[in-house]
């Protein structure tokens, strides 16, 4: 019984790690200037979301992916862009001027 609980916990950790990795690669790309919002949305809806362990009927997956992708794009893209700008500002603030 304890082995089943450990396996379930390990499976959940693997799913979580995979989700974080895929979401980070999709919405916090290192070259965000070259990544358009449409390409991020398409990557999420076409690749990331269908691979998630969604507990919904098959016909609902498309709608769930579309709506969650739209929400994530509207929420995460501005945060990622703000983070890039903050890191650029902090770098230029710490550079000595001569």
Reading the block at residue 27, the tokens are 């919405």
Half-sphere exposure (Cβ direction) of 57: Cα atoms closer than 13 Å: 2
36, with CB counted inside 10 A (0-12, 13-18, 19+), is: exposed
Kindly state the average pLDDT of the residues 75-96.
63
Q: How confident is the model at residue 95 (pLDDT cuts 50, 70, 90)?
A: very low
pTM as predicted: 0.60
Question: 3 pLDDT band (50/70/90 cuts)?
Answer: low
**Residues 29-54: tens digit of each pLDDT:** 666 556 788 888 888 888 888 888 77
């Amino acid at each position: 019984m304890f082995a089943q609980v450990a396996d379930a916990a390990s499976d959940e950790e693997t799913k979580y790690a995979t989700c974080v990795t895929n979401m980070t690669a999709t919405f916090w790309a290192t070259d965000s200037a070259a990544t358009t919002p449409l390409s991020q949305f398409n990557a999420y809806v076409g690749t990331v979301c269908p691979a998630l362990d969604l507990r919904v009927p098959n016909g609902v997956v498309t709608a769930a992916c579309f709506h969650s992708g739209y929400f994530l794009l509207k929420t995460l893209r501005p945060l990622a862009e703000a983070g890039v700008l903050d890191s650029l500002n902090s770098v230029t603030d710490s550079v000595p001027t001569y």
